[in-house]
Amino acid sequence: MRIAYKTVALTLLLCLGLSIYAFGIEPGRLIVTRVEIPVAGLAAPLRLVAIGDLQPAGPHESRERIEEIVTAANAERGDLVVLLGDYHSSRALSTSYVDPVDTTEALGELKAPLGVIAVLGNHDWWWDGPRMRSLLQAQGIEVLEDRSIQVKGEGHDLWISGVSDPVTQPYDLPGTLAQTDATAPTILLTHTPDIFPEVPDTVSLTLAGHTHGGQVYIPFVGRLVVPSRFGERYAYGHIVEQDRHLYVTSGIGTAILPVRFLTPPEIVVITLMPKTQVPTQGTASS
């Protein structure tokens, strides 16, 4: 009987400890995930810093937290910074609210020689898409909605394409990509990875967020809730299908519940390599 009581007590303590970690600790962490991806037609390596799904709301997110993330991103000295949507949170279970004006002002401190480029997400449109676009643009951040632009730097020449949020808006992927040509590689920004099956192999890399990596990952079970019609197929990380590359970030904030488990918030640093150089596997550091 004593053994049974001890087993129950240990189980309860374990559950309590895991709950404290998942609700109180991991959502406040920040890791830097580093990946190298080959890109045909690229003349020299390019460092791209990607941030997704800030969705700032308490208890873990605040303007000060966003400023810390911006400082960490700037320390990576990326050639280009991309933002993958959801700069507003509509999560009901929160202890505080971060005004989008504060969020975008903090993001305005992001620095990169080739600029800072963004797309909008579903939470931005549920709040006020045109207003969010204006706030970002006021900070010098280029917002792409079914639009492509060419960025040029020393040894770097890229097309950056961005589609409107496929969750809430009509989007025109063919029309967006028609604005590019074969003179330079194309990087596609989309809030959700669900459009990846539609992406042609002329796109060198697709970057997405939205899934939060499922927020909770249980070994041998999987990611409990992934907001994608493809389930876990595009839930998180570097995915290669038919030589087409996709990276889905776990993002920064949380949705529905302020919880994360084995899916910490991340900044992603992607080194785009000329395709003749062999990439290494991605690593993460705290």
* pLDDT tens-digit series, residues 181-206: 988 999 999 999 999 999 999 999 99
Residue 33 in tokens: 């995930």
Least confident of 72-76, 236-240, 281-285: 281-285
Q: Is 110 exposed, middle or buried (0-12, 13-18, 19+ CB in 10 A)?
A: buried
Question: Among 22, 11, 12, which residue's Cα sits nearest to residue 257?
Answer: 22
Tally the domains of the chain.
Answer: 1
Q: Residue 180: which residues within 8 A CB-CB, separation 6 or more?
A: 148, 150, 159, 161, 186, 202
Amino acid of residue 46: L
Distance CA(109)–CA(122), nearest Å, equals: 24
Tell me the pLDDT band of 153, cut-offs 50, 70 and 90. confident
So what's the pLDDT on residue 3?
63
User: Cα(78)–Cα(75) distance, rounded to whole angstroms?
Assistant: 8
* Residue span of the structural domain in which 127 resides: 2-285
Reduced to 3 states, what is the DSSP secondary structure of residue 58?
Answer: coil
**CATH number of the domain within which 140 lies:** 3.60.21.10
Is 77's pLDDT higher than 90?
yes
The answer, yes or no, to whether residue 18 has pLDDT greater than 80, is no
**pTM score of the predicted model:** 0.93
pLDDT, tens digit, 9 for 90 and up, residues 37-52 = 999 999 999 999 999 9
- Cα–Cα dist 27/189, whole Å: 25
pLDDT greater than 90 at residue 32: yes
pLDDT (mean) for 85-100: 91
Q: Residue 283 has what pLDDT?
A: 47
Q: Residue 248 to residues 86, 101, 214, 222: CA-CA distances in angstroms?
A: 14, 26, 11, 16
* 152 vs 120, residue with greater confidence: 120
Q: Residues 6 or more apart from 106 whose CB is under 8 A from it?
A: 63, 66, 67, 70
The first and second tokens of residue 249, run together, are: 């970030």
Does residue 286 carry a pLDDT above 50?
Answer: no
Share of the chain above pLDDT 70, in %: 91
pLDDT at 200: 97
- Tell me the mean pLDDT in the region 11-15: 64
What is the pLDDT of the chain when averaged over all its residues? 92
